[in-house]
Amino acid sequence: MIYILIFLLAITFILPIVSKKVEANLEIFLFTIGVLAAVTSGAINKTLLLTIAQNKFMYFIAFAVLIGGFLFKALTTHINKALEDILKRIPLRIFIFLLIVIIGLLSSVITAIIAALLLVEIVSILPVSRKNKININIISCFSIGLGAILTPIGEPLSTIVVSRLGLSFWSLLDQLGIYIIPGIIILGIMGAGYGSKEKSKADNDEEIVIGETNGLIIIRAIKIFLFIIALELLGEGFKPIIEAYILPLDTRYLYWVNMSSAVLDNATLAAAEISVKMSPEQIKAVLIGLLVSGGIMIPGNIPNIISAGKLKITSKEWIKVGAPIGIAIMLIYYVVLFVF
């Protein structure tokens, strides 16, 4: 059983990168792998199916994506005009820096989902090339992934951690803010570099503009819904691997092994790993490893999949930018957490 699960985990990482068909149908692929993993591990049962069906967060996200899509479609003209007015007063680089920092910090209050919906609409109309839009978007998703942990309403992972450890509303901000906020500011500085050159006529040739229709908005919401079910199935299906090979590890190794959250649900991993028996240092290391890794690949975070779908970012394009950034940030945090 373990070997089959390891094989399934391996192809979850590899196939979206090497196969265009898989990439074009990522949600269906992940759902299929989730079902296979859950069946292989014996996790499929009535209780699991009921638990998934009763996941209110799943319905909230799909509804937010649906309503947000219709709302932004109706307000596109006004948003474009407002952005043009703002950019007349603020240099593009500064605007991008502020966007990444503010969207990251706000995600802990308005939720990572709403932050991602705002982000993708703003990035889609920035006066930069498609390549720079992708870079800015991915860096912003790292920012959202980090910032959403600061309160229990930001994302499921933070909700689970606060509940599991019996923390107060602002405890995560108190404990992790000193690590997370500087990281978000650094990401803002990185992203600002991609606003130095506005679009030229040559850039327009590579731009893929697909007009929003009601049908596309509905399909996107359905895909997000399927993706969340897939994450639930993947988390349950791969639990034997988590319990056998991940949980027994020393915190320093666990920090790096948590890069598996690039394709697995970080909330599931947090639920399996976080314990009141851990020291504050161990909890910080586990959480930061999970948060940063979530930006490396599209399946790593809900904001990733929302923005990748809207901006038509491929898995190869994402990992080409996300992997170097993610690994670099992981190295920096490792030094801060374990060396200093």
* pLDDT tens column, 197-224: 555 554 544 554 456 688 888 887 888 8
Q: Is 224 within the bounds of a domain?
A: no
pLDDT for 92: 93
The reported pLDDT for the residue numbered 208 is 47
In a domain, 179, yes or no: yes
Separation in Å, CA 204 to CA 83, 103, 276, 295, 313: 19, 27, 53, 27, 16
Give pLDDT, residue 197.
55
% of residues, the chain, pLDDT over 70: 94
Is residue 145 very low, low, confident or very high in pLDDT (cuts 50, 70, 90)? Answer: very high
Residues 6+ apart with CB under 8 A from 124: 133, 310, 311
Percentage helix, strand, coil, to 5, in the chain? Answer: 80, 0, 20
Q: What is the pLDDT of residues 313-325, one digit of tens each?
A: 998 899 999 999 9
As a whole number, mean pLDDT of residues 252-269 equals 80
Q: How many domains does the chain have?
A: 1
Domain of residue 153: give its range.
Answer: 57-196+239-339
The answer, as to whether pTM is greater than 0.85, is no
pLDDT grade for 335, boundaries at 50, 70 and 90: very high
Pick from 126, 174, 168: nearest CA to 307:
126
Would residue 22 count as lying in a domain?
Answer: no
Q: Give the pLDDT of residue 199.
A: 55
Residue with the larger pLDDT of the pair 177 and 12: 177
Assess if residue 334 is contained within a domain: yes
pLDDT digits (tens, 9 = 90+) for 266-277: 776 777 677 777
Residue 43 belongs to some domain of the structure = no
Model confidence pLDDT, tens digit, residues 281-301: 888 888 999 999 999 998 888
Please give the backbone phi and psi of residue 248, each rounded to the nearest 5 degrees, phi first: -75, -5
Most confident of 129-133, 198-202, 223-227: 129-133
CB < 8 Å & 24+ apart, contacts of 310-313? 310/120, 310/121, 310/124, 310/220, 311/120, 311/123, 311/124, 311/133, 311/134, 311/137, 312/208, 312/210, 313/134, 313/137, 313/138
**What is the per-residue pLDDT across 91-108, written as a single tens digit (0 to 9) for each?**
999 999 999 999 999 999
Is position 28 within any domain? no
